Amino acid sequence: MNTYDLSLIQQSKYIDMLFTYKSDNDYNIGDIVIVPFGIGNKVIEGIIIYKNKSEVTNKTKEIISALEHTYSLTQKQIDTAIFIRDNYMCSYYEAFKLFTSPSKYTKLSEHYTINITLNDKEKLQELIKNTRKNAKNKLSFLNAIAHYENITKPVLEEMLDIKTNSYINELEQLNIITTSKLTVFSKNRFTKNKKPDIKLNAEQATIFNSIKNIYDTEPNKSVLLHGITGSGKTQVYIEIIKYLLSKQKTAIILVPEISLTMQTIARFSNEFDEDIAIIHSNLTKREKFEQWLKIKNKISKIVIGARSALFSPLEDIGVIIIDECHDEAYKSEQSPKYDTIEVANKIAKQNDALLILATATPSITQYYEASELKKYHLFKLLNRANNKPLPQVVIVNMLEEMKNGNNLDLSKTLQLEMKRELAKGNSIILFLNKRGYSNQLTCDNCGYVPKCENCDISLTYHKTTHSYKCHYCGYEVSAFSSCPKCNEGHFMMLGTGTQKIENQVKHLFPSANIFRMDKDTSKEKGMSEKILTDFRNTSHSVLIGTQMIGKGHDFPKVSLVGVINADQGINSPDYKALERSYNIIEQVGGRAGRGSDDGTVIIQTFSHSNSLLFFLKNHNYDAFYQDELEKRQIFRYEPFGNLIRITVSSIDEKTAFSSAIKVKEALTFYNNTKLSAKLKIYDVSPCLITRIEQKYRYQIVLRSDNETLSTAKKMINYTLTAKRKIVLSSDNVSVSIDVNPDNML
C-alpha cells in the first residue's frame, strides 16, 4: 500500500495544505488523480506531490483513479510551483494552476482516416443485400472510396452528403475498412516570407559568440543584453536559438504585450521551419489547449508568448529569452503575484539553460544585479543595426506655452514638426505618459511637485479632507493655499486623455490618418494588432496612445514622437515613477528614425528642471542609473531594501478596515517578539484606488532589508494561513500579498 500527499485542485482558503491518500496502484509524483474529499466524499482532482512520505491511518481515504499521463506534471514543474508558493505567499492551488492543462475536457477536431483493406465482393454484396434501404447510396459510397487509399471523414460527408456514421460503422464491422482517430492541429496563420539571410554585424557577432561560449562552458548562464533601441537584439537571440536547436534543445521567448507576440511570431516564422507555439491570454480555451498539447507532444520546439508561456510543458529547454525585460507586465497583478524573471531564473537553472534578459532600458535592480552583483553577464549593443543615429530629443516647457496663450495639449513646437513630417508622408506617434491615476499636482508658476518627506514620492490630493497624503507611509499635510517653493503659484491638476488629444489633432490636421490605441479601441480580440498593422502600412498617419504603443514595435515610417505630458508619469505617487518614465519615454522615442529619415522626439513638460529630462535628452542611461541608485540607497528601496504590500478587501468597508487593523496588529506582535522589530510596519491606509469591483481596499505596507526578507515572508505566511481564523474572523475578506509591488494602486 502506497501513500500519496496531494495538493487538491480546488480554490479554497480552508484547504491550502497537503492531504494524504492511499492506493495499491503505483502512481507517479506529478500524476493528477481523482479522490473523494470531505464528509460527503465529493469527487475532486489532486496533484501528487510526495510519495510514501506519510503514514496510513484508519482515516486515510483511497485514490479512485488517475487521469491519463498526458496531464501529469514533471518534478521540475512541481519544484517550481512550490518555489512560487513559498516566495510569493500564495496557495498551493494558485501555484499549481499555472502548470496544469488549460482544459482537460476540451475536444479538438477528430479526423477519421479510412483505409481500404479488403475488396471482397461477397461481403460487399452481403452488406448491400442486408440493408436494402438506401442501397443505392451505399453502393455510390463504396464506389467513391474505392479510388482512395485514405480519406478523411469530413471530406466524405461533404462529397456524399452523408449525415450519419452508419455507412462507416457497418463497413468497419465487416473489416472492409479501418478507422483511426487523429488529432489535427490548426496551423499558425502567419505566412512565411523568407528573407535573405541577415548576417550579424561585428558588434552583434562578438556578443553572439560570447553568449554561445557561456552556454557551453559557464555554470552561470544568465545574461543581460543591454542594447539601445534598434540595435538588433532580436537578431542576436535568433542566432542563439538556431544554435541551441542544432543541439536538440528548445526555446521560450517572452514578450510583454500580446500585440508584440504577433510581431515576434511573424518575425520568427520567417526564420525557422520548426512549428512555433503561441501562448497568451487572448486565446480561447480550445486554442490554449491545442497549443499546450503541441508543446506537450513535442511538436513545437519554440514557444512565444506573454509571461504565462513560461509555464508551458516544454522539455529540454536550452534558452529562455525575456524581451523588454524591464516591462512591468512581467510582474503578475493577480495572485500569485510572481516576478517572471525570478521564476525564469529558477526554471533556467533547473534545465542548465541560458536566461537572456534583453532591453534598451533595464530596471535599476536588473542593472545593479548585472553590473555590481555579477548575477548576470552584461553585454551592450551601443549602435543601431542600420548605423542610424538615435533620435534628437527636444524639451518643451509647457508653463511657457500657457503663459504665451496656448491652452492646447500640443505645443507650438510639436504642431510645427507634425505639419512638416505629415507633408513628407511620414508617420507620427503621440504618446501619453499616463497610468491608472491620471491627475498630478503641479505649481502653475514654477512646476514644483509636493513630495513625502519620508518616502520621496509625490503626494496625492484628497478632496474630502482637503489634504495631501502619501500612500506609502500615511504622511499627511493640509493642502497649500500657494506654492511653498515660489510663494506665487497655485497647484493645478494635470491630466488629459487620448480622446481629447485625438480631437485636437483632427482639428489641426484634418487630412491626417489618425489611429487611437487605448483600452476602448482595442478591447475586442485582434483590434490591437489591426490598429498597429494599419498604422504601419499607412502614410500621413498619427498614432495616439498610452503605455501599449511604446513597447518594442517596429514602425519604419515613424520620424516624429511627441510625449504629450511627461509629468503624468514622472510625478505619479510611486518610488519607481522616474525609472518607469525614463524607460517608457526612451522606448517610445526609439520608435522614431528607424527608416530612411532621422527621428525627432519632443517631450512636453511642466517640470522642465527635472534631471530626468536631461538624461533623456542625451540618451544617457548610465547617468540616470547612477542618479536613481543613490536615491534608492538613501530611502532603502529595491535593490537595497524591500516593500511588501498586504491588501485587505471586502464588500463591506468596515469589515475591510477592521480586518486590516487585525492583520497589522498580528504582524506587529510577531515582528516585536520574533524579529526584534526588524521590520517597519506602517499604519493601515486606504489604497490609492479605494474600491474595485464593489470591494473596499485597505493596505498595510512593510519594509524589510534584504537579509530579513525571507523571515518576513514566513511571518506573513504564518499569520495569514495558520492563524487566519483568528486574524480574519469574516469569510467575506480577501487578502493579497505583493512583494516589491510594481504599482501601489
Residues 90 and 33 in one domain: yes
Same domain, 371 and 299: yes
Residue 687 assigned as binding residue: no
Say if 293 falls within a structural domain.
yes
pLDDT at 464 over 90: no
Domain boundary among 121, 154, 183: 183
> Which residue did the predictor score with more confidence, 494 or 424?
424
Lowest mean pLDDT, pick from 233-237, 336-340, 529-533, 537-541: 529-533
Q: 641 pLDDT exceeds 90? A: yes
Q: Residue 132's pLDDT is what?
A: 42
Residues 6+ apart with CB under 8 A from 45: 8, 9, 10, 32, 33, 34, 35, 67
Residues 245 and 365 in one domain: yes
- Domain of 85, CATH number, reads 3.40.1440.60
Whether residue 157 sits in one domain with residue 67: no
Residue 243 shares a structural domain with residue 337: yes
Check whether 702 has a pLDDT greater than 90. yes
Residue 384 is predicted with a pLDDT of 92
| Residue 222, beta-bridge partner list | 355
Calculate ∠ Cα 204-207-211, nearest 5°.
135
Residue 18 has pLDDT above 90, yes or no: yes
Peptide bond into 450 cis (omega under 30): no
Buried b (16+ CB within 10 A) or exposed e, 100-134: bbbeeebeeeeebebebeeeeeeebeebeeeeeee
Confidence (pLDDT) at 166 = 64
Task: Determine the pLDDT at residue 174.
Answer: 59
500-544 pLDDT, tens digit each: 899 999 999 999 999 999 877 877 877 888 999 999 999 999 999
Contact 185, 300 (CB under 8 A): no
Q: How far apart are CA 429 and CA 517, in angstroms?
A: 11
Domain-ending residue, one of 76, 97, 118: 97
Structurally, the chain folds into a number of domains equal to 6
My answer on whether 351 and 210 are in the same domain is yes
Q: Is 325 annotated as a binding residue?
A: no
Q: Give the pLDDT band (50/70/90) at residue 284.
A: confident
Same domain, 514 and 608: yes
563 in Cβ contact with 414 (< 8 Å): no
HEC string of 472-504?
A: CCCCEEECCCCCCCCCCCCEEEECCCHHHHHHH
Rounded CA separation 322/532 (Å): 22
Helix axes 709-720, 653-674, angle to 10 degrees: 130
- pLDDT of res. 148: 47
pLDDT at 401: 94
What range does the domain containing 127 cover? 110-183
At residue 32, what are phi and psi to the nearest 5 degrees? Answer: -100, 120
278 and 333 assigned to the same domain: yes
Residue that wins the pLDDT comparison between 177 and 274: 274
Checking if the pLDDT of 743 tops 80, the result is yes
Residue 69: predicted pLDDT = 85
* 426 pLDDT higher than 50: yes
User: Residue 176's pLDDT band (boundaries 50, 70, 90)?
Assistant: low
Q: pTM for the full model?
A: 0.85
CA dihedral 230→235→238→243, nearest 10 degrees, is: -140
In a domain? residue 50: yes
Asked if residues 350 and 310 have their Cβ atoms less than 8 Å apart, the reply is no
- Predicted confidence (pLDDT) per residue in 368-420, tens digit: 999 999 999 999 999 998 888 999 999 999 999 999 999 899 999 999 999 99
Structural domain includes residue 104: no
The strand pairing partners of 461, in sequence order, are 468
Which among 123-132, 282-291, 725-734 has the top mean pLDDT? Answer: 282-291
pLDDT at 112 over 50: no
Residues in the chain: 745
Domain membership flag for residue 599: yes
Query: At 443, is the pLDDT very low, low, confident or very high (cuts 50, 70, 90)?
Result: confident
Which pLDDT score is estimated for 170?
Answer: 65
Arithmetic mean of pLDDT, 556-576: 90
List all residues 6 or more positions away from 482 whose beta carbon is below 8 Å from its beta carbon: 488, 489, 490
Instruction: Give buried/exposed letters for 567-595 (b at 16+ CB in 10 A, else e).
Output: bbbbbbbbbbbbbbbbbbbbbbbbbbbbb
Please work out, in degrees rounded to the nearest 5, the angle formed at the alpha carbon of residue 363 by the alpha carbons of 358 and 367: 75
Residue-level pLDDT at 152: 53
159 — pLDDT class (breaks 50, 70, 90): very low
pLDDT higher than threshold 80 for residue 144: no
Q: Which residues contact 129 (CB under 8 A, 6 or more apart)?
A: none
| Burial class of residue 401 (count of CB atoms within 10 Å of its CB; 0-12, 13-18, 19+) | buried
SS3 call for 31: coil
Q: Are residues 543 and 420 in the same domain?
A: yes
Alpha carbon distance 162, 159 (integer Å): 8
End-to-end alpha-carbon separation of the chain, Å? Answer: 52
- Is there a domain that residue 195 lies in? no
pLDDT at 124 over 70: no
Name beta bridge partners: 178: 115
90 is in an annotated binding site: no
- Predicted confidence at residue 114, as pLDDT, reads 44
Give the lowest-confidence range in 213-222, 652-661, 728-737.
728-737
pLDDT, position 175 = 60
Residue 118, pLDDT above cutoff 60: no
Look at residue 120 and tell me whether its pLDDT is greater than 70.
no
Average pLDDT over residues 265-272: 87
Strands 440-443 and 491-494, by their bridges, are: antiparallel
CA angle 674, 679, 684 (to 5 degrees): 110
- Predicted local distance difference test score (pLDDT) of residue 474: 82
CATH code of residue 721: 3.30.70.590
If asked whether residues 399 and 519 sit together in one domain, one would say yes
Task: Consult the annotation and say whether 446 binds a ligand.
Answer: yes
Highest mean pLDDT among 37-51, 433-447, 670-684: 37-51
Q: What is the DSSP letter of 339?
A: B
Residue 154 parent element (H or E): helix 153-160
Asked if residue 193 belongs to a domain, the reply is no
Query: Are residues 144 and 280 part of one domain?
Result: no
Answer yes or no: is pLDDT of 158 > 60. Answer: no
- Each residue of 341-352: b (16+ CB within 10 Å) or e? bbbbbbbbebbe
Q: Is residue 103 part of a domain?
A: no
Longest CA pairwise span in the chain (Å): 108
CATH code, 293: 3.40.50.300
**Among residues 300, 301, 185, which one has the least CA distance to residue 242?**
301
pLDDT of residue 380: 98
Instruction: Express as a percent the part of the chain with pLDDT over 90.
Output: 59
pLDDT of residue 14: 76
Last residue of a domain, one of 347, 362, 381: 381
Residues 425 and 563 in one domain: yes
Share of the chain above pLDDT 70, in %: 86
Cell 516566495 belongs to 87
Query: Looking at residue 23, what is its pLDDT?
Result: 96
- Tell me if 192 is assigned to some domain: no
**C-alpha cell of 263?**
510581431
pLDDT at 173: 67
Write down the mean pLDDT value for the chain. Answer: 86
Higher pLDDT, 491 or 706: 706
pLDDT digits (tens, 9 = 90+) for 148-157: 445 555 544 5
